[in-house]
Structure 1
């Protein structure tokens, strides 16, 4: 899971509920500095939340973009039903389409991190007119790497038989293996991570995990989308194989960004560099001659 390094809100950020045709969603809504150049909707990953984009909101705002990070249904502070059907791919995609419409800014740039990329792809296929572009951040159309598939299977199985608190404790232990004693999360951050976990619906965690384990390769569907595409990830990405992401970007004709020194969450570790790459891509989408790759 992504861990924000700070919970401090960037300037010009409102915390509110975005009312949509499919219900309310908790959002962090950061207004652009100066004249607005566009709006971006940010979808978080598995076991994550809107706070995973806190480091990115400021740089995007400074570049002239309204940036709106959202908790998906049943995720963190957004309400969600208990039933399994509510967390199928199409239902989540319809949520993202409704969120984009509720922003009231016309077509918006759509970015999905990790699991959020699966939702973003489905939303773009469902309603391409709602989005100016699609960015998959640390998220591939192919299968997740084997160690992560095992982790997701264990997590889903544990949630089916153990109290949520016990599963949280086990996750914390696994995440701490090999770390130095002084790298523990600060109390404020540790408290937030636990609250986020406890607030997220088990049905959401189970449903998102099920989609992550899907064996289908969606590269052909990605290539068929009629909008500017961007595949971005850290050089040390571990949830999807970097070679697979590189190949998918090439097959889909997508703009390709590799952030040196970053892992699975460049939005946390390298927010300024990622913002520069994102805004560069968005600006290039309006140019007839676009550079396809910015990989080093």
Structure 2
């Protein structure tokens, strides 16, 4: 579940549609600073109600550390097309297969990162086929279903979408108070019109299907831990969607690196982008290169 986003891409980034075997996906693709050869490529998946813009503030600090970053709108999210009313197009398996196609189009292996819902889609992709990935980073994304309080919020949203248009739901949410997402109130300046356009661009079926997934997701940590991949679990100091102790325990079960970003909540990528980028790059710096990793299996 996403908070506010910085919509203007960094100066050197390209926005385009990534062509894959499963269709085209809107991306923001940020190269390494100075045009140098990247240490690696990171594919970044946004959360529920989110978009590729949720990672805007990470691109430049990660480019400075030598990483090319590609943030993507998943099927039916914001600027990527998808059916408006066919929920079967948005099953977790279908979305995971999209991620495998995105990685293939970028040229594997890539570092895979998912925020919130994006983390659960990322792990589903890795469980289908880990070979296109050098590592998996889960940002504020827990082991199973979301907390009871957030399940109630998703239930209200699903009920509203059943009887109202996206525009009507937006107006209702605005009337209820200032912009707020699952992790708490939005921090910093809010581009209300761009947030509205992002909401209206997202397909209702995508929200209905992925909202149900968030409320029913089983615990798949043991399956994930059996894979030959390095893992990183990142969160803020506080999280209402998956409580921090739950994320701590998941990291132990995965034998993962664990980072808690001071001063951040559910979206450290927007709350505290510089220390978050520092933690991500520090983890990726320690991941063996593709040849070394393959030889060690």
Q: Same fold (TM over 0.5)?
A: yes
Q: Which runs of 5+ in 1 are unaligned?
A: 289-296
Q: Distance in 2 between matches of 1:133 and 1:64?
A: 16
Q: CA deviation at 1:177?
A: 8.3
CA offset at residue 5 of structure 1?
A: 5.2
Within-5 A mapping of 1:197-276: 197-276=199-278
Q: In structure 2, what is the Cα distance between the partners aligned to 1:177 and 1:232? A: 24
Secondary structure at 1:128 match in 2: coil
Structure 2 SS opposite 1:60: helix
The structure-2 alpha-carbon separation of the partners of 1:45 and 1:176, relative to structure 1 and needing over 3 Å to count, comes to same
Determine whether 1:6 maps to 2:9: no
Shift in Å at residue 249 of structure 1? 0.8
Q: CA deviation at 1:84?
A: 1.4
CA offsets 1:156-211 (integer angstroms, 9 cap, x no match): 11101112222112223445289xxxx8954xx11111011111110100011011
Indicate how the Cα distance of structure 1 residues 7 and 215 shifts in structure 2: closer, same or farther if over 3 A, else same.
closer
For the 8 Å contact 2:58–2:273, the answer to whether it is kept is yes
Decide whether the 8 Å contact of 1:141 with 1:222 is kept in 2.
no
Deviation per residue, 1:216-248 (Å, 9 max, x gap): 212212212220011110001221011111111
> Under a length normalisation based on structure 1, what TM-score does the superposition of the two structures give?
0.90
1:101 to 80, 101, 104: 104
Contact 1:144–1:241 (Cα < 8 Å) also in 2: no
Stretch deviating more after TM superposition (234-243 or 40-49): 234-243
Q: How does 1:55-204 map to 2 (within 5 A)?
A: 55-81=57-83, 82-104=85-107, 106-174=108-176, 176=178, 186=190, 189-204=191-206
Q: 1:292 matched to which residue of 2?
A: none
Judged with a 3 Å threshold, the aligned counterparts in structure 2 of structure 1 residues 154 and 13 are, in CA distance, closer, same or farther, namely: same
Aligned residues of 2:78 and 2:199 also touching (Cα < 8 A): yes
CA 1:168–1:177 in 2, change beyond 3 Å: closer, same or farther?
closer
For the 8 Å contact 1:4–1:55, the answer to whether it is kept is: no
- How many angstroms does 1:286 deviate by? 2.3
Structure 2: give runs of 5+ residues left out of the alignment.
Answer: 181-186, 293-297
Q: Say whether the 8 Å CA contact 2:73–2:79 is kept in structure 1.
A: yes
* Counterpart in the other structure of 2:183: none
Q: After superposition, give the CA deviation of every residue in 1:226-275 in whole Å (9 maximum; x if it has no partner).
A: 20011110001221011111111111111111111100111001111111
